Structure 1
Amino acid sequence: MDQSSAAPAPGELGRDDDIVAAFQLEERPVSGRVVRLGPVIDEILSAHELPMPVAALLGEAVLLAVLIGDSLKFEGRLIVQASGANANPGGLGGEGAVSFVVADYAVGEGVRGFARYDADRVAVLEAEHGPRPGAERLLGSGAFAMTIDQGADMDRYQGVVALDGPSLAACAEHYFAQSEQVPTRIRLAVGQEMVDGGSMRWRAGGAILQRIAGDDARGHDAHAFADAQVLFDTVEDDELLDPGVSSGKLLYRLFHEDGVRLQPGKQVMRRCTCERERLARILAGFPAEDRDDMVKDGAVVMTCEYCNRDWRFTEAEIDAAG
């Protein structure tokens, strides 16, 4: 779908929630992606009773996982992680009120995410700095990592940088500048809207802009990315969150003079890998005393950290899975 400077504003494409789509500036060596999440982000953030600062941080991680994971050219996974000091990128613990936040996007399957935090310390930060104290205050010093998992028969690739910036978007920009040497700009927004009956539901939207190699069609203008970034930086949170502002309309507002091509959107789904048989096998490997500590009302209960679902097992079922 080619939207040149003479074309009317895009209408339907990109309108729906839970969509990620790539775009390209026709006359500049610049490309990007845009994502809009409705029910998917509401399910992820509502699975746990998260304080506002933690929910916003986790929402940012989910947006990043989708925006960057959608660029994978194979059926793999992109994992975005941020952990406080004294925690490895794949581990837990740390000095911040939030010790660990992770989002996992699997191509063709969907996205999931969760966070671990100290509720009392989060409440102190919220009282001192408001509902959005920022990634640096929530996580403290630590590491930001992105991991590409190409499957069981392939090595994982992981890039790690120090947490640097007030948001996960800033951390990701730092990652691309340091690890990939790719000029990158990212905008992320996470918020709530009121629905019928007065209840609230989560929404999220984001976009990524990157410089790509020039060619005869797009030119080799060294200033092209900087010029596009000036326009990109005018994006407001409300535009990313408003269901009435489609991705197409937003991109047309920003880049219609350059000619912007928005690719067909891909559906984004919520995923979780908690399966009864797999969890039973995991429990079968636990020491008996650990399983005893998990007994509630006569059953061994395991709670999925991602979807917060309780799975109940009998001892016989666990023994049979071992």
Structure 2
Amino acid sequence: MTPAGAPGAPGLTGAGDDRVTGFQLEGRPVRGRLVRLGAAADAILSAHDYPVSVARLVGEAALLAVLIGDSLKFDGKLIIQASGPDSGGRQIEGTGAVAFVVADFVPGQGVRAYAKYDGDAVAALEAASRTGARDLLGDGHFAMTLDPGPGKERYQGVTAITGDTLADSAAHYFAQSEQTPTRLRLAVGRQMLDGGHMVWRAGGALIQRIAGDEARGETQDSFEHAQVLFDTLGDDELLDPALTAGQVLFRLFHEDGVRVEEGRPAPRRCSCERASLARLLARFPSDDREHMSGADGSVAMTCEYCNREWRFTAGEIDAAARAND
């Protein structure tokens, strides 16, 4: 790691967008990560015509997936999901305008996210200026799932949705389930480019206390000190494309000293792929496929994440069925 602010420090000279950067305070048992999403955030949030409040919720879920998933030490993915009381994805009157928001991150591959919502219910909440996470989701649940991959057991932790942002629920989860003092800041907003075109940006940061031991002693005072500085971090700093991760961290912690790691990519990803989708369709009984088919015998599928439509001919599906046998 290189001290932030030093010549050639990572995060000061490299590209700052769609990357996650780890850091640690000098001489203090505090570590963290900072993520900046530019093109990735715009691709995720522009794929659907989300209301502003829902787009922010989806952006927050994506940021959390990257910030927390980047710490995984195995091949797999981290899934962030916040859902209303009805886990089936259906709306129950008075329990939340957003049925669920979900994001997942695969280290080295990237992040994806989307939400299912009731447009009329969201519009009513926005008109009443009630756009916090709990307003939108109701008395639901926040879950983090570690998925190590095929054939391995998943681990899931669940807590209640609390506060105005998903950061509040994540911090509550860490306090209850992991006993790891954690502070998070998330920001999602729009930037106007030359010519008046608007794009989405997102930024987030996390700090955690490293547990004390015989060498470190008690670490709570150091964490409280770092937390006071961390809480001065503004949305404008997280979203400003002119500021790199290293510059933001130097602003926050230059008096203590902060060492930053080489940034790691966090692009937008989507796992929809033509061959795998054809194999999925081929598993349906022929009667079901006929019901899904258009007049020309083709079947259309739309990816919920990227909103891309895929169309398959009957011949493609039959070929995939033979390959499945």
Q: Shared topology, TM-score over 0.5?
A: yes
| Structure 2 residue 299 is matched with structure 1 residue 303 | no
Moved more, 73-82 or 288-297: 288-297
- For the 8 Å contact 2:86–2:99, the answer to whether it is kept is no
| Alpha carbons of structure 1 residues 320 and 7: separation in structure 2 relative to 1, 3 Å | closer
- Corresponding position: 1:93 with 2:93: no
TM-score by length of 1: 0.92
For 2:18, the equivalent position in structure 1 comes to: 18
2: CA distance, partners of 1:282 / 1:214: 50
Give the distance between the partners of 2:165 and 2:129, measured in 1 at CA. Answer: 14
SS of the residue corresponding to residue 308 of structure 1 reads coil
Amino acid at match of 2:317: I
CA-to-aligned-CA distance 1:141-163 (integer Å, 9 cap, x gap): 11100000111131111101111
* Structure 2 portions without partners, runs of 5+: none
Is the Cα contact below 8 Å between 1:48 and 1:308 reproduced in 2?
Answer: yes
Determine the C-alpha separation between the residues in 1 that align with 2:99 and 2:205: 26
Amino acid at match of 2:108: G
Contact 2:143 2:158 in 1 (8 A): yes
Residue 319 of structure 1: how far off its partner (Å): 2.3
Cα distance in 1, alignment partners of residues 219 and 21 from structure 2? 25
Of residues 288-297 and 227-236 in structure 1, the stretch that sits farther from structure 2 once superposed is 288-297
Rounded Cα–Cα distance in structure 1 between residues aligned with 2:161 and 2:43: 27
Q: For residue 305 of structure 1, what is the amino acid of its counterpart?
A: E
Structure 1 distance, partners of 2:279, 2:185, is: 41
Instruction: Measure the CA separation in 1 of the matches of 2:196 and 2:294.
Output: 35
Partners of 2:154 and 2:254 in 1: how far apart?
39
Aligned length: 316
Structure 1 contact 40–269 (Cα < 8 Å) conserved: yes
Structure 2 equivalent of residue 119 of structure 1: 119
Q: Distance in 2 between matches of 1:196 and 1:280?
A: 41
- Could you tell me how far 1:55 is from its partner in structure 2? 0.5
Instruction: Give every structure 1 segment of 4 or more consecutive aligned residues whose post-TM-superposition deviation is greater than 3 Å.
Output: 6-11, 214-221, 287-297
Secondary structure in 2 matching 1:223: helix
1:85 positional shift: 0.4
1:54–1:115 Cα contact (<8 Å) kept = yes
The residue aligned with 2:43 is 43
TM-score scaled by structure 2? 0.91
CA shift in 2, pair 1:76/1:286, >3 Å: same
- For structure 1, the residue ranges without an aligned partner over 5 or more in a row are none
Tell me what 2:165 maps to: 167
Of 239-248 and 312-321, deviating more is 312-321
What is the letter of the counterpart of residue 57 of structure 1?
L
What amino acid does structure 1 have at the position aligned with 2:272?
Answer: C
Cα deviation digits, residues 265-284 of structure 1 (max 9, x gap): 00111111111121112112
Question: Counterpart in 1 of 2:128?
Answer: 128
Which residue identity lines up with residue 263 of structure 2 in the other structure? G
Percent identical across equivalent pairs? 61
